[in-house]
Amino acid sequence: MVVSDHRSEGANLSGRRVVLTGASRGLGEALAHAFSRAGAQVALVARSAPDLERVSAALPGDALALAGDVTDADFNHRVAGEVVAAWGGLDVWIANAGVAPTVGGPLETTPEQWRQVLDVNLTGAFLGARAAAAHLGPGGRLIFTGSVLGERPRAGLAAYSASKAGMVATAKALALDLAAAGVTVNVVAPGWFDTPLTEGWMRNPALSERITGHTALRRWGDPAELTGAYLFLASEASSFVTGSVLTVDGGYLLV
């Protein structure tokens, strides 16, 4: 994957201590590079330790690779604790880990599949926020990776769409809960980006055309085009932004 992009050059997050889940590939890998280039210390989280080590080794700055499952509440607390122990505090938690199996209609979707998607995408994000909230102080940031499908669901993706819509409500409630502590909580809602998660759609010409046909800019997004939104929400520049959804979709929701 290409990560040597310079769109986010100029962002300065020096000294910011960041946890990034879903960091082993796709959007998370691009975010890891963008935050590291901006001077942040980044703790990378995903289940696959070798993938995390590969990403970590390629970063220009200080990084930790912490392998585990975001659905495990204890693991989330361990991550927060290890970051605080290593770097003396925690400033930003990005809940980006997610799964998006196309499971079909209600009769094809098993209860286990439904629960698994909600567990990773929604409960996993909440458990991360819960672990982070114990450490975040004034200027702290929670950023969730939502999706345009949380606003405009797709057939076959009810569980995924529900998880991402639920994430918006969760972020708004947490923005109220944590406002007094000086912590902001926001969602980035990506449109369609070229990552391993969307490979099946992108490689299928009919599906891919349906997506680009529904995108005002008539193309897929490059993960490097998404990173600026997170850098903004993690920085001082967004100090008065909370409970918001920042959509980065090339105009997908317009068409």
Catalytic center residues:
160
- Nearest approach in angstroms of CB 255 to ligand NAP is 16
Give the pair of three-digit tokens for residue 12.
């300065």
Considering the complex, state which of residue 176 and residue 185 has its C-beta at the smaller distance from ligand NAP.
Answer: 185
144/232 with CB nearer ligand NAP:
144
Nearer to ligand NAP, 97 or 131 (CB): 97
Contact 178, 132 (CB under 8 A): no
What are the beta bridge partners of residue 19? 43, 93
CB of 15 to ligand NAP, least distance (A): 25
CA atoms within 13 A on the CB side of 53: 3
Among 49, 2, 6, smallest CA distance to 24 is for 49
How near is the Cβ of 222 to ligand NAP at its closest, in Å? Answer: 11
In whole angstroms, give the CA distance from residue 24 to residue 96: 11
Give least dist CB 103 to ligand NAP, A: 14
* Minimum separation from the CB atom of position 14 to ligand NAP (A): 25
Residues near ligand NAP, by CB under 6 A: 21-28, 46-48, 51, 69-71, 96-100, 120, 124, 145, 147, 190, 192-193, 195-198
Is the Cβ of residue 40 or residue 117 nearer to ligand NAP in the bound state?
117
Which residue do the tokens 């590291």 mark?
36
Beta carbon nearer to ligand NAP, 8 or 195: 195
Neighbouring CB atoms inside 10 A of 166's CB total 18
Taking the complex as a whole, how short is the minimal distance between the CB of residue 114 and ligand NAP, in angstroms? 15
Of 10 and 152, nearer to ligand NAP (C-beta) is: 152
- Give residues with Cβ within 8 angstroms of 81, minimum separation 6: none
Rg (CA), the chain: 17
What is residue 89's three-state secondary structure? coil
Single-letter residue type at 133 = A
Residue 121 in contact with residue 167, Cβ under 8 Å? yes
Nearest Cα to 29, choosing from 155, 196, 157? Answer: 196
32: which residues sit within 8 A by CB, 6+ positions away?
20, 23, 42, 44, 55, 59, 63
